[in-house]
Amino acid sequence: MIISMRLHATKEEVAQVRARIEEFGYRVHSIEGEERVVIGAVGVGDVTACLESLEAMPQVEKAVRISAPYKFVSKEFKPDRTEIKAGSAVIGGDEFVVMAGPCSVESERQILESAELAARGGAKILRGGAFKPRTSPYDFQGLEEEGLKLLDKARRATGLAIITEVMSDRDVDLVAEYADILQIGARNMQNFALLKTLGKCGRPVMLKRGMSSTIKELLMSAEYVVAHGNPQVMLCERGIRTFETATRNTCDISAVPVLNELTHLPVILDPSHAAGKRSLVPALARAGVAIGADGLIVEVHPQPEKAISDGAQSLDPRQYAKMMADLKPYIALWKESRVALAAAV
């Protein structure tokens, strides 16, 4: 069940509703919105009686039963799209948002050049990892706080917002000081300690789908962050592991419309990690626009042949500029259909 309190309900009123829910044997999670407190109740009990009793309380605006195991992130709970602000971008609204930049922050020069390149092509958000999850412990692990400082410099130079990965709950506060969006990598999608900490980080979060995770598991992970207090979550399809070896991962393009049916959270497509090969990235990016993603996250590098990580899938400046130009008519159609959809609701 989800229970929305009336606007500006007091702490005592929330406590009374909470107590009533607990009398029916349910466990309670409450999330504070800016104006409204929303309470999630989970467990087994007499749903009908509990709903009736809650609806009769004057402090309660609405009490609804949600059948999906993920409650706060479901469309049943909130039919209208969640919009998330980051710098000058709004993700989940009627602008298609591109995030672009290198896999890793490598040096001041590299990140500043990347940021200028990203902005020139029309991206609103700069990506770049300062904490890198690497398969081998001997590979470059990222510049850590020094990398975050360089991202901040790039933000000040270009006006782009910053998305960067956080790998551990210990680093959440540090990364949140510098980033506009915290990226949770595929390998950490089910790091529950991290997800709980993100509930309190006060920044938007982009949760990447684990390479062996189902869509339902992705939504349950998003539910962790929201249930722990942070409703600003977007999801990212970045390819899953299958028997296919021609691509680094298999881009599960159908995840985008499936997620759009099940959740109000924005959905981003990462064609770079899905493909693993730069020649395939523009086609997958087009597919992402056409199928209704809210945006893309793409790897670009001023000199991909010198990249410390993921060079093979990073677009060079010319390829990135061409991809962004080629996407324009698709994005115009995307915008028309987004505006028409909003008008139809």
Q: Is 208 in the site for ligand PEP (CB under 6 A)?
A: yes
Q: Is 277 in the site for ligand PEP (CB under 6 A)?
A: no
Query: Residue 133 Cβ, how far from ligand PEP at the closest point, in Å?
Result: 5
18, 29, 71, 238: which one binds ligand PEP (CB under 6 A): 238
Give the residue with the Cβ less far from ligand PEP, 160 or 186: 186
The two most distant CA atoms of the chain are separated, in Å, by 65
Query: Residue 128 Cβ, how far from ligand PEP at the closest point, in Å?
Result: 9
18, 203, 273, 301: which one binds ligand PEP (CB under 6 A): 273
Query: Residue 157 Cβ, how far from ligand PEP at the closest point, in Å?
Result: 22
Q: How far apart are CA 269 and CA 296, in angstroms?
A: 5
73, 91, 103, 195: which one binds ligand PEP (CB under 6 A): 103
Kindly determine how many residues on this chain lie close enough to bind ligand PEP according to the rule CB under 6 A.
Answer: 9
Query: Residue 224 Cβ, how far from Mn ion at the closest point, in Å?
Result: 24
25 binds, among Mn ion, ligand PEP, none (CB under 5 to 8 A by kind): none
Query: Residue 196 Cβ, how far from ligand PEP at the closest point, in Å?
Result: 19
Give the residue with the Cβ less far from Mn ion, 95 or 310: 310
Residue 84: closest CA among 182, 191, 14? 182
Give the residue with the Cβ less far from ligand PEP, 31 or 111: 111
Query: Residue 181 Cβ, how far from ligand PEP at the closest point, in Å?
Result: 12
Question: Between residue 101 and residue 160, which ones bind Mn ion under the rule CB under 5 A?
Answer: 103
Give the residue with the Cβ less far from Mn ion, 50 or 103: 103
Quick note: the x/- pattern for ligand PEP over 104-143, rule CB under 6 A, is -------------------------x---x----------
89, 98, 100, 186: which one binds ligand PEP (CB under 6 A): 186
Buried (b) or exposed (e) across 81-120, using 16+ Cβ within 10 A? bbebebbebbbbbebbbbbbbbbbbbeeebbbbbbbbbbe
Contact footprint for ligand PEP (CB under 6 A): 103, 129, 133, 185-187, 208, 238, 273
Contact footprint for Mn ion (CB under 5 A): 103, 310
